Structure 1
Amino acid sequence: MFELLTVALASLLAGFIDAVVGGGGLVLVPALFGVFPQAAPATLFGTNKGASIWGTAWATAQYARRVSLNWPALLPAAGIALLGSFAGAWTVTLVDPGFLRRALPLILLLVLAYTLARKDLGRQHAPRFNGRAETLVAGGIGLGVGFYDGFFGPGTGSFFVFLFVRLLGYDFLHASATAKLMNTATNAAAIALFAFKGHIWWHIAAVMAVTNVAGSLVGTRMALARGAGFVRGMFIVVVSGLILKTGWDAFFR
């Protein structure tokens, strides 16, 4: 019961972070590895996905009620992201993704530096494209980041948010809402693969899903109430945390 309570509380916090800006895995994955050190890594990753998809899907629904999204452009892009995630998961069975371990903290550091240097980045919602052009650009982001999510994974939500802000001209609130849609698709692809391989503890994932949705509810309401500036601030905090975590894993473990 103590182990279950620990991961349930971690899932609550992860749901909050994921709902605001993504990056909940920064909390939940280490918690699972700490509580269940003897478990197969694939099982812990699968259980994480089996719980977190519910909070992400809930956040998507909540954002959809309050944030205007271009659904005709973004739904096809989410489908492409799902296919990209499948392709990445298939590729990881052929190629070792270990080479990304050292590159990831450096890439995240560049993302953070660019965001801090551009004080106005993501504060105003001014989409650069419409119609088919928006679908193509969003689909390209979905394919690339979806592939990365299936292949390696850490920082997926942050990459989605940053690219939607930088390439599509979204503010951080709209980018975060769109990232939830994309993340739901990529998580669904991952869950299908993990479930097929028998790598999800459904009884634990079910409990974590409940608290993940609760955290998601709080995070979504706070993001909607406080707007793009709050989401930008959370983005900086989460990316900084990801840099420290991935840097430690890559260079010191």
Structure 2
Amino acid sequence: MPELSLELVSFLFAIALLAGMIDTLAGGGGLLTLPALIVSGLPPLSALATNKLQASMGTATATYMMLKHQHVTWQQIRPLMLTAFIGSAIGTLIIQFLDTQFLSWLIPVVLFVIAVYFVLAKAPHEPDRPHKVSDNTYRRFVLPLIGAYDGMFGPGTGSFFSLAGVSLKGQGLLKTTATAKTLNFATNIASLIVFIFAGHIAWLLGAVMMLGQVIGAWLGSHFLFRVNPTHLRYLVALMCLAMLAKTLLS
């Protein structure tokens, strides 16, 4: 646990606020929050755990809004959330047994790859062909695999769920985005539960970042139609790479 200071708390609050806003507008806030926690001096497992705590606030709010406005129904998403939940729990259990020195270089590598993907990948569009996999395959294999990734690392998970919904299930953009938010909530909660029992969460820092997430999400909802999401994706990747460079140099 790093020594608390006004500078550290202010830095993490600001990063979480920006991440909450960016997540609302374009997705990818985890590319900022996880490197920020690592740069702050948290051990790798503690950084992953605390990141899950603050991320759960954003996905919980998004899931509530999706259900409230009936973009998805509980009957539709319940079996999907269950398999994603299980996959995430398994992934989080696996990460507990990896050597922390191994994680110290593995996490920056994974974040670098995801940042590059975030810049190069195109946003999902409306489907122009039927789905490629059956409902059972999608539910039993695709979602648990993405969930396991979220349990082990996390950043970019929402984009992966959206990409899978469009490319494998042939879902429309609104449908796949709404579904992705609920699935991401399930994977965040599963991972968070495991991390709570493992005792890796830095609660005070997580609480500060949760507050930043809420304010950022509120701001993002008010700027939703005024900002170019593509420019935000580039900003996310650039800031992520800058923080990773600082981590590697230190």
Normalising by structure 2, we get a TM-score of: 0.75
* 1:10 aligned partner: 15
The alpha-carbon distance between structure 1 residues 244 and 137, as it changes in their structure 2 partners (threshold 3 A), is same
The alpha-carbon distance between structure 1 residues 243 and 11, as it changes in their structure 2 partners (threshold 3 A), is closer
The alpha-carbon distance between structure 1 residues 171 and 17, as it changes in their structure 2 partners (threshold 3 A), is farther
- In the alignment, the residues of structure 1 paired with residue 204 and residue 128 of structure 2 have an alpha-carbon distance, to the nearest angstrom, of 44
Which AA in structure 2 matches 1:60? T
1:91, CA displacement in angstroms? 2.6
- In the alignment, the residues of structure 2 paired with residue 170 and residue 147 of structure 1 have an alpha-carbon distance, to the nearest angstrom, of 22
Which AA in structure 2 matches 1:49? K
1:63, CA displacement in angstroms? 3.2
**Is 1:88 aligned with 2:117?**
no
Q: What is the number of equivalent residue pairs in this alignment?
A: 240
The alpha-carbon distance between structure 1 residues 40 and 61, as it changes in their structure 2 partners (threshold 3 A), is same
The alpha-carbon distance between structure 1 residues 240 and 4, as it changes in their structure 2 partners (threshold 3 A), is closer
Checking the alignment, whether the CA contact within 8 Å between 2:45 and 2:200 is kept in structure 1 is yes
1:222, CA displacement in angstroms? 4.6
1:10, CA displacement in angstroms? 0.7
The alpha-carbon distance between structure 1 residues 123 and 241, as it changes in their structure 2 partners (threshold 3 A), is same
Correspondent of 2:125 among 123, 126, 136: 123
* 1:50 aligned partner: 53
The alpha-carbon distance between structure 1 residues 111 and 4, as it changes in their structure 2 partners (threshold 3 A), is closer
- In the alignment, the residues of structure 1 paired with residue 74 and residue 156 of structure 2 have an alpha-carbon distance, to the nearest angstrom, of 24
1:252, CA displacement in angstroms? 9.4
1:245, CA displacement in angstroms? 7.2
1:125, CA displacement in angstroms? 6.5
SS of alignment partner, residue 168 of structure 2 = helix
* 2:36 aligned partner: 31
- In the alignment, the residues of structure 2 paired with residue 166 and residue 242 of structure 1 have an alpha-carbon distance, to the nearest angstrom, of 29
Q: How does 1:92-241 map to 2 (within 5 A)?
A: 92-94=95-97, 115=122, 122-124=124-126, 128=130, 134=135, 137-220=138-221, 222-223=223-224, 233=230, 237=234
Which AA in structure 2 matches 1:15? G
- In the alignment, the residues of structure 2 paired with residue 122 and residue 193 of structure 1 have an alpha-carbon distance, to the nearest angstrom, of 31
- Over the aligned positions, Cα root-mean-square deviation in angstroms equals 3.7
CA deviations on 1:155-201 (whole Å, 9 max, x unpaired) are 22221121122122234443332222111111111111221121112
**Is 1:41 aligned with 2:28?**
no
Identity rate of aligned residues, in percent? Answer: 30
- In the alignment, the residues of structure 2 paired with residue 220 and residue 170 of structure 1 have an alpha-carbon distance, to the nearest angstrom, of 24
- In the alignment, the residues of structure 1 paired with residue 106 and residue 35 of structure 2 have an alpha-carbon distance, to the nearest angstrom, of 21
SS of alignment partner, residue 153 of structure 1 = coil
CA deviations on 1:121-161 (whole Å, 9 max, x unpaired) are 733368956xxx54752553321100111233332222112
* 1:118 aligned partner: none
**Is 1:76 aligned with 2:76?**
no
The alpha-carbon distance between structure 1 residues 4 and 100, as it changes in their structure 2 partners (threshold 3 A), is closer
Which AA in structure 2 matches 1:143? P
1:20, CA displacement in angstroms? 3.4
- In the alignment, the residues of structure 1 paired with residue 245 and residue 59 of structure 2 have an alpha-carbon distance, to the nearest angstrom, of 27
Checking the alignment, whether the CA contact within 8 Å between 1:79 and 1:185 is kept in structure 2 is yes
* Stretch moving more, 233-242 or 149-158: 233-242
Normalising by structure 1, we get a TM-score of: 0.74
- In the alignment, the residues of structure 2 paired with residue 241 and residue 139 of structure 1 have an alpha-carbon distance, to the nearest angstrom, of 35
Structure 2 unaligned blocks of 5 or more: 1-5
The alpha-carbon distance between structure 1 residues 242 and 70, as it changes in their structure 2 partners (threshold 3 A), is farther
